[in-house]
Amino acid sequence: MTELPRTARTTPRTHSERASRELEAVHAIVDEALCCHVATSVDGSPRMAPMVHGRLGARLILHGSRSSTLMAALAAGAEVCAAFTLIDGLVLGRSAMHHSLNYRSAIVFGRAREIADFDEKSAALRVLTERVVPGRWSEVRAMSEREVHATLVVALPLDEPSAKIRSGPPLDPASDVDGPWWAGVVPLALRSSAPIPAPDLPAGIAPPASVREFERRMQRPR
Amino acid sequence: MTELPRTARTTPRTHSERASRELEAVHAIVDEALCCHVATSVDGSPRMAPMVHGRLGARLILHGSRSSTLMAALAAGAEVCAAFTLIDGLVLGRSAMHHSLNYRSAIVFGRAREIADFDEKSAALRVLTERVVPGRWSEVRAMSEREVHATLVVALPLDEPSAKIRSGPPLDPASDVDGPWWAGVVPLALRSSAPIPAPDLPAGIAPPASVREFERRMQRPR
């Protein structure tokens, strides 16, 4: 396990028992999340959007339109905070105070920079697809040079991250445990159902291995 | 449908065809999301955390510890951006460019204020539980005065919101449609599995109606 040094921003002030600074824990959460939330300040005001992301080693890859205010701020090197949140269950304690979620959450701070080099950008665009559906990149129509140029791609170093994980049953005070109230967890997970072919798909084209594997993986509870 | 006026921050610069300013659409997304992401600026730097939320009419309710940097900023009236994101499917086009997510997303801007009045605060704490599991509040041990006082509760008016919704199949360019590549959607939804009683639950206490109804509701695909 690679333990990262703490900074003021990544030192938890609440629920420190849930905190992790293991790089592997952060990467696992980043890799499992289908999207993240990216926040920055524009003229002192917070801006945020959900975004699809990729990971290229220790760098988070984000992409978007050049006309997006948030993407423009990211490309200009603004300070960024990105959050990755996986919900694993609803925790139902004996009192309202002890209701919670089971979750795995990672927060990353840093400054992004635009990836302009064509080959580096192509590699970054590739992981945006491949992280979620490994194998998909080589099964689809190859990206054109024009498409690569049209997209704004930025990389954010994952070197100031933190993770918080809550798992397991509710933790009620001893004075409540013998009471008449039910307590427990309802497990939750993002699950897939069967692929729906596009209405304009020509007859005879079946879902490829990458899509079938994604669906199979997402059917299983963790 | 109640159409809200647009502000500079809620006018989409990208994918305006996905945008909605209907109050009902925003409330529906807020109500279905199990958690939200809340961002603010602290000394010019973005801070963000996932939070459980409630809704009291046209106000978003958030709660947390007084020792949280983010909650302290919220209670002090800092500008806030909150995001609510529901993932509905993975969209797989014929090219990497036309991969996307189906989602329903709401973003809210504003300034929160602390709820200090005991009765108003109790009502706000109640919706934090009741929004997710209706009926649960009256089935658990009543909240003590000490517990109400210990929690910091803030309200954020939902009067500068916007929503973006993407649904349906991939939208590939006509030049790709007759190609040999599979295209379609893999539907995704947060689903429950059977409740797990707390290990310290006394024998003979069954899950109450509220918990059974939550599990039943979350089992169904949308």
Confidence of residue B47 (pLDDT cuts 50, 70, 90): very high
Asked if A201's CB is within 8 angstroms of B96's CB, the reply is: no
Which residues lie below 8 Å from residue A120, measured CB to CB, with a gap of 6+?
A: none
Q: How close does chain A come to B21, measured CA to CA in Å?
A: 16
**Chain-chain contact of B143 with A189 (C-beta, under 8 angstroms):** no
Q: What distance in Å separates the CA atoms of residue B76 and residue B88, rounded to the nearest whole number?
A: 36
The 10s digit of each residue's pLDDT in A19-61 is 666 788 999 999 999 999 999 999 889 999 999 999 999 999 9
Contacts of A199 (CB under 8 A, 6+ apart): B169
Mutation for B interface: A10, A111, A182, most B CBs within 10 A = A182
Choose, out of A201, A210, A212, the residue to mutate when testing the contact with B (most B CBs < 10 Å). A201
For the structural domain made of A8-171+183-190, what CATH number should be given?
2.30.110.10
Q: What tokens appear for A16 in the block? A: 């420190």
Task: Give B13→chain A minimum CA distance, Å.
Answer: 6
What is the model's pLDDT at position A48? 96
Task: Return the CATH number of the domain spanning residue range B8-170+183-190.
Answer: 2.30.110.10
Residue A146, pLDDT > 70, answer: yes
Identify the three-state secondary structure at position A91.
strand
pLDDT band at residue B160 using 50, 70 and 90 as cut-offs: confident
Please name the member of A41, A147, A176 whose beta carbon is closest to the beta carbon of B41.
Answer: A41
Give the DSSP per-residue string, B174-215. HHHHTSS---EEEEEEEEE---EE-TTPPTT-PPPHHHHHHH
Q: Does A46 sit within 8 Å of B46, measured CB to CB?
A: yes
pLDDT at B16 over 80: no
What does the pLDDT average to over A82-107? 97
Greater pLDDT, A23 or A142: A142
Please choose, from the candidates A214, A162, A196, A207, the residue with its C-alpha nearest in 3D space to the C-alpha of residue A15.
A162
Residue B13, pLDDT score: 67
Mean pLDDT of B112-140: 95
CA B194 to chain centroid, in Å, comes to: 23
Query: What pLDDT is attached to residue B207?
Result: 96
Residue B37's pLDDT is what? Answer: 98
Contacts of A185 in chain B (CB under 8 A): 195-196, 198
What the block records as the tokens of A113 is 């920079």
Residue entry with tokens 């295209």: B183
Please give, one letter per residue, the 3-state secondary structure of A46-84.
Answer: EEEEEECEEEECCEEEEEECCCCHHHHHHHCCCEEEEEE
The answer to whether the CB of B166 falls within 8 A of the CB of B103 is yes
pLDDT in tens, B55-95: 999 999 999 998 899 999 999 999 999 999 999 999 999 99
Q: Check CB contact under 8 Å for B188 and A9.
A: no
Whether pLDDT at B221 is above 60: no
Number of residue pairs across A and B with CB atoms under 8 Å?
293
Interface test with A, best of B62, B88, B122, B141 (most A CBs within 10 A): B141
